[in-house]
Amino acid sequence: MKQEYSFNKKDEFKSYLSMTKSQVESELAKFVARLSKLTLHPQIEYAVMSKGKRLRPLLVILSAESVGGKRTDVMRLALAFELMHTATLVHDDIIDQDENRRGKPAVYRKWSVNEAILTGDALIALSVDLASDYGENVLKTVARSALELCDGERMDLAPTPISADEEWYFKKIREKSASLFAAATYCGALAGGGTSAEVHCLHAFGQDFGLAYQVRDDLLDLEPQGNDVSRDLKSGRINLALIHFYRNSNSEEQNHLERSLRRLINGKQRSTNAAKDVARILGKKGSLDYCAKKVDRYLSRAVLSLSVLQDSPYKDHLVGMTQALKNWG
């Protein structure tokens, strides 16, 4: 059953989100300031303090609070997840050759590839150090999710035919993206003192939330933002919309899409025009709607998994996170 979300709850959620995000930003700034003696401090500060949604630390805190834990007790764990996520962004920008991140030059462009690699490595080490305060189970979960992230990224980089199937796609995004969300909610619930059932349900919530997040992110990549076309689209990476189209089209339609993609990848047509052509073809076939329905399905599953939790404002805010995801860019 779809859970309704009242205007009062929406206002409370916005207030909670703003306050908690501000607190995370403040604690991140304090943490980074204590690293001032490191020669990599400027690079770490630049990477960590660039503006982001802070979804993963928010989910750590919310998961802990939803099972009766205190945010002060899990704040260092929340920071660990943000540092791990930032490390992946620093490394991904090198791999993808993305020149900008959150409106600023990527770390490797501002300094060098070598310094960006070291910055990412340092962030991973700092994340592991913070997570180690919470016991072996949490530490192993963080390490395992980091390994899954690497494996998922490797799948993303490997040459993949447009005829790939959904099983391949969802395995890739489960590892590349959803694994860190699932680890955040699982570890937050564990550190917050949740029961076995609560920890399990919040792990399921995080995984479904993460799958929805990545499907939606890939969907947004299909629409040019001004004159910018996503690197994933220009590099020909396969997403769910392309898989759906290929599986539901005849050879003539497939060839038409492949020609449009080649024009985009090879730069034979203005990037924004080529990208709009690809999006138009996918939209006409219903592939974009198919992806949007997948997002809704995973978010509905995420909400259903919360039924184990006792009613509380924090449980309501987890529901709010699923609804807010649809409006985040």
120 in any annotated domain: yes
> CATH no. for residue 18?
1.10.600.10
pLDDT at 160: 76
Mean pLDDT, residues 277-304 = 94
pLDDT at 103: 82
Q: Which of 44-48, 178-182, 271-275 has the lowest mean pLDDT?
A: 271-275
Element (H, E) at 105: strand 104-105
Rounded Cα–Cα distance for residues 86 and 81 (Å): 9
Mean pLDDT, residues 289-301 = 96
Q: Is 305 exposed, middle or buried (0-12, 13-18, 19+ CB in 10 A)?
A: buried
177 in any annotated domain: yes
pLDDT at 3: 45
36 in any annotated domain: yes
pLDDT at 223: 75
First to last CA, the chain: 27
Q: Is 132 exposed, middle or buried (0-12, 13-18, 19+ CB in 10 A)?
A: middle
Rounded Cα–Cα distance for residues 160 and 156 (Å): 8
Tell me the pLDDT band of 256, cut-offs 50, 70 and 90. confident
Average pLDDT score over the chain: 90
pLDDT at 163: 73
Tell me the pLDDT band of 100, cut-offs 50, 70 and 90. confident
Mean pLDDT, residues 176-192 = 97
Over residues 55-97, the pLDDT tens digits come to 999 999 999 999 999 999 999 999 999 999 999 999 999 998 8
Query: Cβ atoms within 10 A of the Cβ of 137, count?
Result: 13
Tell me the pLDDT band of 1, cut-offs 50, 70 and 90. very low
User: What is the tally of structural domains in the chain?
Assistant: 1
Predicted TM-score (pTM) of the model is 0.92
Tell me the pLDDT band of 226, cut-offs 50, 70 and 90. low
Range of the domain at 177: 7-325
CB 257 within 8 A of CB 278: yes
The residue among 289, 170, 307 whose CA lies nearest residue 239 is 170
pLDDT at 72: 96
Higher confidence at residue 53 or residue 9? 53
Q: Which of 41-45, 111-115, 274-278, 320-324 has the lowest mean pLDDT?
A: 274-278
Residue type at 177 in one-letter notation: S
Long-range contacts, 10-15 (Cβ 8 Å, 24+): 10/320, 12/313, 12/316, 12/317, 13/316, 13/317, 13/320, 13/324
2 in any annotated domain: no
1 in any annotated domain: no
Length of the chain: 329
Locate 163 and state its tokens: 């005829």
DSSP string, 38-90: STTHHHHHHHHTS----HHHHHHHHHHHHTT--HHHHHHHHHHHHHHHHHHHH
308 in any annotated domain: yes
